[in-house]
Structure 1
Amino acid sequence: MTIPWLTRFVAVEAALEQTEAPVAVEHGTMRTLLYAPRGEDSQQPHKRDEVYVVRTGTAEFVRDGERARIAAGDVFFVPASMQHRFENFSADFQTWVVFWGPEGGEH
């Protein structure tokens, strides 16, 4: 039985074979992805606010020039249009990312 508001992790994990950021759930302006960069984090600033929830592994996160070591269970916010990236991430690094709100972010 398919439940329209539920996505099983096994389906998201299988999609990682096709893309490094499969979409898990979408509703209105909210979009949730599992992000698992490979080799290098090449993402660019996004037009909407975002929250990351680290699922597995470790990394260094650089946000607007400020650097922090992050690990599984950590949660952090990035405002719309702010430069950010993951560096020195472990091979098992995966993070949920939730985008929402209007372009330009909430003020």
Structure 2
Amino acid sequence: MLIIEGAGRWTTPTDGANDWVEHLRMPDLSVGTYCIPAGGLDDQSPHTEDEIYVVTAGQARIVTPDGATEVGPGSVIFVPAGEEHRFDEVTEDLALLVIFGPAYGSRAPAHPAPLRPRS
């Protein structure tokens, strides 16, 4: 057993940007917290893993190809792998407990190392 301290708790992002913290990573599952300040923009891209969001604080709207809906504390949202989605109209600081299955990024294709200039 493991108690995951701080998961889903609002923390003020630095520089007014969104904040992602991964708390637990196992091969088949990862858990983290995603925070978006009021008025902030969600610039995430679709993920290669299935995802569940649990809204623990704040108010916003989630937008997917199927439409948009208001979310707040207690909302639980499933987003299948590859689906476009974003939070907008963040009217109160938004804290989300995020669960990925399998672990976040584990299905992403391998990327070659970035090119570096020769010295």
Q: Output the TM-score relative to the length of structure 2.
A: 0.71
5+ residue gaps, structure 2? 109-119
* 1:41 match: 42
Q: Give % identity.
A: 26
Deviation at 1:8, TM superposition (A): 1.4
The CA RMSD measured in Å over matched residues stands at: 2.6
Q: Deviations over 1:29-82 (max 9, x none)?
A: 211110012421000000000000001011000012410000101001000000
Pair 15,86 (structure 1): closer, same or farther in 2 beyond 3 Å: closer
SS in 1 for 2:3: coil
**Structure 1 residues 92 and 61 mapped into 2: Cα distance closer, same or farther (>3 Å)?**
same
Q: Distance in 2 between matches of 1:88 and 1:103?
A: 30
- Count of equivalent residues: 100
- How far the C-alpha of 1:91 sits from its partner, in A, is 3.6
Unaligned runs of 5+ residues in structure 1 are none
**Equivalent residue letter for 2:3:** L
**Match status 1:8 vs 2:5:** yes
Is the contact between residue 55 and residue 73 of structure 1 (CA under 8 Å) also seen in structure 2?
A: yes
Residue aligned with 2:90, SS: coil
**1:103 Cα deviation after fit:** 3.3
Deviation >4 Å, runs of 4+: 12-19
Indicate how the Cα distance of structure 1 residues 15 and 24 shifts in structure 2: closer, same or farther if over 3 A, else same. Answer: farther
TM-score by length of 1: 0.78
Instruction: Give 1:57's aligned residue.
Output: 58
Find the structure with the greater CA-based Rg. 2
| 1:76 equivalenced with 2:77 (yes/no) | yes
Contact 2:54–2:96 (CA under 8 A) maintained in structure 1: yes
Q: Distance in 2 between matches of 1:70 and 1:13?
A: 16
Separation in structure 2 between the aligned mates of residue 83 and residue 49 of structure 1, nearest angstrom = 12
Considering fraction of residues, name the structure with more helix.
Answer: 1
Instruction: Report the AA paired with residue 73 of structure 2.
Output: A
Distance in 2 of aligned mates of 1:84 and 1:41: 9
